[in-house]
Amino acid sequence: MIDNPQYNFGFTAGAAMLNETRAMAEAYLDCGCDWERTKEKVLNENILSKGKVVTTKRYFALIKERLETLNDAELHAFVSGSVSTQRLLVILAICKAYSFIYDFINEYVRECFYNLQEKVTHTVFNEFYNEKKYIHPELENVTENSVYKMRQVLFRILEQTEIIESANDGTIRRPYLSPELEEMIVMDDAKWLAVFLYSNNEISNLKEVYNGREIHRHGLNVR
């Protein structure tokens, strides 16, 4: 039996946090990509606008966990990009940080989309959760309230990053990636295109298209 890494449910402490993530990414670059200096700046200047120090520290750790998954090119594209680009890179970082969310999009949201089901529903989430319990023992003893919160926050993240139209409705939307951003993600790892509802054939073809190309890791103008 294959051992599966345990799921990390840290995402339930906050949803997409687009504004906070952008503010912290900018602070991180301003501080020369030094997390200790960034933390000091965030706390001293209340960059996250959370009021209490204990709350700021908690959100700092949560956002840091996400930003650390982005490579240099993705991080710079996030800071310099449009709101649309930032939204795309936030869901990428979230999926890199939390395989639970990546698996849900990759295995279930994509299946709904390519089976011409317009919506991803709470029933779909429940099917996903029940299937994963067989290979992720950490899911066995999770309370109903905790499962409800996971689902609630996950759907809110999908809404805030425009993978679905709304958390209540669940209508699926396939995001548009510019060629520059598409190439950047392929050169990172093409599997992440599944986050944006690319089909397996599209992912395979794009790997061939971009194979061997060099990508400038800094200063990409992704807008």
Domain match, 118 and 188 both: yes
Among candidate residues 55, 70, 96, the one where a domain is terminated: 96
Residue 200 counted as domain residue = yes
Residue 4 counted as domain residue = no
Assigned token pair, 161: 């990053």
Q: Per-residue confidence at 210, pLDDT binned at 50, 70, 90? A: confident
Contact 113, 198 (CB under 8 A): no
Judged against a pLDDT cut of 80, whether residue 2 lies above it is answered with: no
Judged against a pLDDT cut of 60, whether residue 212 lies above it is answered with: no
Long-range contacts, stretch 190-193, CB < 8 angstroms, 24+ apart:
192/92, 192/95, 192/96
Domain match, 179 and 116 both: yes
Q: Which residues of 23-37 are buried (b: 16+ CB within 10 A; e: fewer)?
A: bbbebbeebeeeeee
Assigned token pair, 186: 């392929």
Domain match, 123 and 159 both: yes
**The pTM is what?**
0.92
Among candidate residues 96, 127, 150, the one where a domain is terminated: 96
Structural domain total, the chain: 2
Q: Scanning the structure block, which residue is given the tokens 């908690």?
A: 58
Domain match, 170 and 210 both: yes
Read off the pLDDT of residues 164-182 as tens digits, 9 standing for 90 and up.
999 999 999 999 999 999 9
Read off the pLDDT of residues 41-69 as tens digits, 9 standing for 90 and up.
999 999 998 889 999 999 999 999 999 99
164: β partners: 172
Residue 3 counted as domain residue = no
User: 3-state DSSP call for residue 98?
Assistant: coil
Domain encompassing residue 89: 12-96
pLDDT of residue 219: 42
Domain match, 50 and 77 both: yes
Half-sphere exposure of 211 (CA within 13 A, CB side): 7
Domain match, 175 and 79 both: no
pLDDT of residue 4: 78
Residue 1 counted as domain residue = no
Domain match, 31 and 115 both: no
**Across 2-11, 25-34, 106-115, 175-184, least confident range:** 2-11
User: 3-state DSSP call for residue 196?
Assistant: helix
Residue 115 counted as domain residue = yes
Domain match, 76 and 158 both: no
Assigned token pair, 50: 């959370």
What span, in angstroms and rounded, lies between the C-alpha atoms of 146 and 148? 5
Residue 38 counted as domain residue = yes
DSSP code, position 169:
T
Closest CA to 150 of 9, 8, 7, 1: 9
